[in-house]
Structure 1
Amino acid sequence: MRDGGWWRFVTFEESSQQRPILDRLLLRRVFRYARPYLGAILIVLITITVSSLLGLAPPLIYRELIDEVLPNRNLHLLNSLALALFAIPLASGALGVLQRHYSAKAGEGIIYDLRNEMFSHLGRMSMRFFTNTRSGEIVSRFNNDVVGAQNAITGTIPEILTNVVTLVSTLIVMISIEWRLALLSVAVLPLFLLPARRVGLILRKIRRQALDYNAAMSSQIAETLSVNGALLMKTFNRLPQEELRFRQLSGNVRDIGVRRAEVAQLFFMGLGLVGAVGSALVYWAGGWMVLNDALTVGTIVAFTAYLARLYGPISALTNVQVEFVTALVSFERVFEYLDLPLEIQERADAVRLNHVEGRIRFEDVWFHYQEPLIDEALSDAQESGGAAIGDGEGLVERPAMHRAALQGVSFEIEPGSLTALVGPSGAGKTTIISLLLRLYDPTQGRITLDGYDLRNLTLDSIARHFGVVSQETYLFHDTIRANLLYAKPDATQAELEAACRAANIRELIASLPDGYDTVVGERGHRLSGGEKQRLAIARVILKDPRILVLDEATSHLDSQSEALIQEALQPLLRGRTSVVIAHRLSTILAADKIVVIDKGRVVEQGTHHQLLANGGLYSALYETQFRSQLAEPT
């Protein structure tokens, strides 16, 4: 199973081996995006037709020069023909500019719509998609695949139309001049078509492999040359190994590019030879007819000039067929993402809550991180002797996927209360938070907010009333101001300063040379861990949510930063329904309810003193993890 491919039961490699034909449904879907641009497309068709008709004139002018002007010394006609030879390319050039403008307008517009639709669709995917897909793979779809689709729209399709009009109009004129030579000219047509099908199959497969190789290379670049990736690579001294891996991936890209160039060049060589055969036949037959006074010299000159306009479009159309079929691979890969089902969907009759009290209930909630069908596939793979399924990357062991992350979880959170989630690592605390934020939906059971099932609420209602401070703070590579305004775009400067003052970070920002306009760097790397977390707290304060979700892990921070964060959290927690993955004894002692999680189940609920008296898992955690904090200085 490839990274990001868990939802597919036919892999990309399998689909590339299927018979590559022009799928009518795919073409219909592509052209559906062209409907808003029919006016521009119509102008393109008109300019292509007029330009092709103008291109028919020069050979006729050559015939007149040879058969009329030179024998009769007709100076007036010579001047007229010379002006025509200048006016025709001028008019064709102007039409070409007009055609290119409207062709680009339609093509760029179609790709604009396609790219925006894909961004919106992926933005609505559940977290399951993002945890199973490499970021480089997503970037590759937006760059390589969308650009490939763009080339098909702005380059390949106009080229097809141009060559079709040129071919048809040229053939009509050639037949009117000398039908026998015209038939001889098209007699070699099957020789153009025979290799096209085979080459199309080969190039389509090469194209898909090239896109896959580019996606793999982009993924490594995105992972290893990000701030965190570079830090990990340097601290573990893995640069030589990463260089070797990158050479292998870039070598694949190089080799497939060479292979594609070789196949294409052999194809072009074959087309050239076929054209040479047709030209030789026409020259031989035409020369024989001139020698027998069946044709004039001007006619044969004009006819041979039309041969280039005949064989050129035939060769181009044969090649365009290959290019168009391979270009459809880009559309297929874009549509693969657009066709991914939305796991988290907003119902048509979803309720919008403008105000919430903050009462939360988990009712017999079960959750699996993987679909049952995937579990069955894993089971089949293991029964056949494999420990996991995969293609060498991102292998996932069956036991981690088979066990339910949550099993029958039930508890209630009162409005305005503080609930602490406690349990060993991997118990399911983060999964509970993810379900509460509706990043995933339960496999069974339901979660309610003020009596409403979360699945019956608008996504905006959930996002508006929940505020999150995660253990790993994410900041955009932008200014402090921009990162704060992400929570409230219309916030005033006074509101920004008040939020930062409450989060104990205003003085730090004021000490920076650019203040709120200081760029924090990739993922906020120019700030310390404590500074990033306080900035995240300020961002949530600015949002002012009714319900706060917090992973308060501060063990990686120094005592001063931890103290500042603890102080910043006090006004944030006050008066709100708060759900905290608790790591500090002070938070646990202040909690109205402690929910103890172990192996995906709620094993205990109650206050600190009640749970200590029970002598269960909480009592053991208290002795091993929390009791030592009593000796720490305040």
Structure 2
Amino acid sequence: MSKAPAAEVTGHEPAAPKERPVGGSTGPARSGHRALLGHLRPYRARIAAGLVVALVGSVMGLAQPLAAKRVMDDMGQGRPAAGPVLVLSSLVVAGAVLAGVGHYLLQCSAESAVCAARCRLADRILRLRVPVVEDTEPGDLIARVTSDTTLLRQTAPQAVSAAVTGTLVTVATVVLMGLLDAVLLCVTLAVVAFVGVIVALVAPRIGRATRQTQEAVGRIGVALERVLGAFRTVKASGAEHREAGALHRAAEDARRTGVRAAAWEAVSATASAVVVQVSFLVVLGAGGARVASGAIGVSTLVAFLLYLFALAPRIGQLVEGVGQLQVGSAAAVRIDQVERLDVEHVESAAGAVGTAGAAGTAGAVGTTDSGRAGAADGASALGVAFHRVCFTYRPGAPRVHHEVSFSVPARGLTAFVGPSGAGKTTVFSLIERFYEPDSGRVLLGGKDVRQWPLSRLRSCIGYVEQDVPVLAGTLRDNLALGGEAPPAEELTRVLRLTRLDEVAGRLPHGLDTDVGHRGGRLSGGERQRVAIARALLRRPMLLLLDEATSQLDAANEAALRDTVTDTARDTTVLVVAHRLSTVTTADRIVVMEAGRVRAVGTHTELMARDALYNELACTQLLNG
């Protein structure tokens, strides 16, 4: 058995330094409070305005007991009380209005912070490296974008208001109570100190239980995404009951952790309520004794009790604020964890080569006589070369590529064949820079792919994946994915080449028909044709087809094979072959086995000298 020699790649630019391994974090972890403040910092001016307005309203509330004392004193001495009553009424109304305005401003700030966090998370998730996404559960990412940011919105105003307004007003209230009667204040503070100790002990437990609850909610999202991602398989396997059980267990975990958090919050709230009742009874008893002894007047006792009633909700607000701060901090930490995941560094569209045709970037894309987009030098196709490439998907896993070397010239059709697990699809993933090789070089157009700007690299490539994903939305949206709407004549041409014009003609709204979740309203073959049409509309310089016709019937497969052959005349086309009919028309065939290039040649050459290829061909390559 002979092997065709792998072509050496020489005279190219030196390999770029290997990038830092993916899957880690891009910076040190922040504490929960720092993470929460980081989300609120851009809106500090608006938050400060809301706090000032709310504080002014609270200060007006503090004047109300003094105004009530003045009313009682005037009435006791027979003086007219109309003026003080009017002042008291004005204070009540103005205080309530300002408190409402302050609350509105804080809520608006929270909504802005949440919107910004969701936008940052969306941008971050879409720029994550492929290995990071593969090591992360999609359902958990969804939970962090939705439920965790919702918690941020719910808790931020209460936490900030309690931390600033609640603290200042509580201190002012205590000072005014001391001015009225220092003895009663000491009695009150002795009771209030009790709740402070309880809150200090309970607050960390609230935060820990909240984090566990959010993690459990994330696991519900993970379980649900798993089921919806294979919905028909679950039904066909009769696995509804089993999968429902998994969802129920995840929900039960969330319930248990939620109950635990609620229990600690209840302890905190109960302590606050007890303080109010006990303080009132103690002050009422001690104050009554002081009134009886003549130490203070009745109006002073009433004013003190009014301050006590005003202090009670402030203490409750502080206690609740501490709990909400723990909840918000836990949510902020989970959001911060996503924002620290490794991402790809994709250049802005202004500095990248856009897709061909209407999507091209002026000055960066040249156009050949045939109307195809190319590099600045007018090239319309790119050669590909692998030079001693070794690759492992993750540390400790078996090696997928063992010094893979081959070269493919610009233009022409090259087929990759071999048993399952030979590393054929990995070739495409390395070209697209979804992963980085452990060693060796992958070259496109004579240049290491690590030296290409990512946006430019991918704009030159049309890629049809093995599972041909179709996104929810209209057929037109899927065809124009990643670029502007193609010209009508170009769209018509590609629809005809891929026989999608017949499909669009059958749909109720043509190209504007919604294809459903993951293209569920289309057949497998129709989804493959959508993916191929989408790739052709990019007018790529390199077309990667990973078993792109495996679900097509013979007639459509033959038509698309002719289309691919025609495209290969002025474009480099790489195909992971599934059918012998595709392989026999290829200009060259790369036979892979166990992560190595076994042989390279034409169909006739390989049939004569490579036993594995001969065996695969005799079984119609169905094992590939």
- TM-score (ref. length: structure 2): 0.86
Aligned ranges 1:570-609 → 2 under 5 Å? 570-609=565-604
Shift of 1:29: 4.4
Shift of 1:546: 0.9
2:414 touches 2:586 (CA, 8 Å); kept in 1?
A: yes
- 1:388 corresponds in structure 2 to none
Q: Is 1:72 aligned with 2:67?
A: no
Post-superposition Cα deviations, 1:449-483, rounded to whole Å, max 9, x if no partner, equal: 12221111111111110001223221121111111
Give 1:515's match in structure 2, choosing from 495, 510, 513: 510
- 1:312 corresponds in structure 2 to 313
Q: Which 4+ runs in 1 deviate beyond 6 A?
A: 350-353
What is the identity percentage for the equivalent residue pairs of Structure 1 and Structure 2?
Answer: 29
- 1:249 corresponds in structure 2 to 250
Post-superposition Cα deviations, 1:356-396, rounded to whole Å, max 9, x if no partner, equal: 5402111111111113xxx3xxxxxxxxxxxxxxxxxxxxx
Shift of 1:487: 4.3
Shift of 1:7: 4.6
- Please give the alpha-carbon distance, in whole angstroms, between the structure 1 residues aligned to 2:198 and 2:315: 13
Structure 2 gaps, min length 5: 1-21, 354-363, 366-374
Q: 1:294 to 1:450 in 2, by over 3 A?
A: same
Aligned ranges 1:193-232 → 2 under 5 Å? 193-224=196-227, 226=228, 228-232=229-233
- 1:163 corresponds in structure 2 to 166
- Please give the alpha-carbon distance, in whole angstroms, between the structure 1 residues aligned to 2:240 and 2:40: 47
Q: Secondary structure at the match of 2:386?
A: strand
- 1:101 corresponds in structure 2 to 104
- Please give the alpha-carbon distance, in whole angstroms, between the structure 1 residues aligned to 2:77 and 2:33: 56
2:472 touches 2:519 (CA, 8 Å); kept in 1?
A: yes
Q: Is 1:329 aligned with 2:334?
A: no
1:487 touches 1:543 (CA, 8 Å); kept in 2?
A: no
Give 1:364's match in structure 2, choosing from 380, 388, 397: 388
Shift of 1:555: 3.9
- 1:562 corresponds in structure 2 to 557
- Please give the alpha-carbon distance, in whole angstroms, between the structure 2 residues aligned to 1:127 and 1:24: 25
- Please give the alpha-carbon distance, in whole angstroms, between the structure 1 residues aligned to 2:607 and 2:497: 34
- 2:125 corresponds in structure 1 to 122
The more displaced of 213-222 and 318-327 is 318-327
2:386 touches 2:406 (CA, 8 Å); kept in 1?
A: yes
- 1:279 corresponds in structure 2 to 280
The more displaced of 171-180 and 351-360 is 351-360
Q: Secondary structure at the match of 1:520?
A: coil
Q: Cα RMSD between the aligned structures?
A: 2.5
Shift of 1:30: 3.6
Post-superposition Cα deviations, 1:4-54, rounded to whole Å, max 9, x if no partner, equal: xx9579xxxxxxxxxxxxx98553444344343232122112112201110
Q: 1:124 to 1:430 in 2, by over 3 A?
A: same
Q: 1:597 to 1:406 in 2, by over 3 A?
A: same
- Please give the alpha-carbon distance, in whole angstroms, between the structure 1 residues aligned to 2:622 and 2:137: 41
Post-superposition Cα deviations, 1:182-210, rounded to whole Å, max 9, x if no partner, equal: 23222233311211232123222211221
- 1:497 corresponds in structure 2 to 492
- Please give the alpha-carbon distance, in whole angstroms, between the structure 1 residues aligned to 2:610 and 2:38: 66
Shift of 1:147: 1.5
Q: Secondary structure at the match of 1:448?
A: strand
- TM-score (ref. length: structure 1): 0.85
Q: Secondary structure at the match of 2:532?
A: helix
Post-superposition Cα deviations, 1:568-587, rounded to whole Å, max 9, x if no partner, equal: 43444341011110122232
AA at the equivalent of 1:121: R
- 2:93 corresponds in structure 1 to 90
- Please give the alpha-carbon distance, in whole angstroms, between the structure 1 residues aligned to 2:508 and 2:30: 60
Post-superposition Cα deviations, 1:251-303, rounded to whole Å, max 9, x if no partner, equal: 22223323332332233222222333333332222211111111110110000
- Please give the alpha-carbon distance, in whole angstroms, between the structure 2 residues aligned to 1:599 and 1:627: 17
Which structure would you say has the larger RCO, counting Cα contacts within 8 Å and 6 or more residues apart?
Answer: 2
- 2:525 corresponds in structure 1 to 530
Shift of 1:233: 1.0
Shift of 1:626: 4.1
- Please give the alpha-carbon distance, in whole angstroms, between the structure 1 residues aligned to 2:394 and 2:623: 38
Structure 1 gaps, min length 5: 1-5, 10-22, 376-400, 630-634
- Please give the alpha-carbon distance, in whole angstroms, between the structure 1 residues aligned to 2:623 and 2:78: 113
- Please give the alpha-carbon distance, in whole angstroms, between the structure 2 residues aligned to 1:592 and 1:569: 12
- 1:395 corresponds in structure 2 to none
- 1:394 corresponds in structure 2 to none
- 2:359 corresponds in structure 1 to none
Post-superposition Cα deviations, 1:490-525, rounded to whole Å, max 9, x if no partner, equal: 423333222212221113212322111111111111
Aligned ranges 1:6-45 → 2 under 5 Å? 7=23, 26-45=32-51
AA at the equivalent of 2:74: E
- Please give the alpha-carbon distance, in whole angstroms, between the structure 2 residues aligned to 1:250 and 1:190: 39
Shift of 1:112: 2.1
- 1:437 corresponds in structure 2 to 432
Give 1:546's match in structure 2, choosing from 538, 541, 544: 541
Q: Secondary structure at the match of 1:67?
A: helix
Q: 1:210 to 1:80 in 2, by over 3 A?
A: same
The more displaced of 455-464 and 267-276 is 267-276
- 1:624 corresponds in structure 2 to 619
Shift of 1:346: 5.4
1:423 touches 1:596 (CA, 8 Å); kept in 2?
A: yes
Q: Aligned pair count?
A: 575
AA at the equivalent of 1:174: M
Q: Is 1:62 aligned with 2:68?
A: yes
Post-superposition Cα deviations, 1:125-147, rounded to whole Å, max 9, x if no partner, equal: 12212222222111111112121
Q: Secondary structure at the match of 2:230?
A: helix
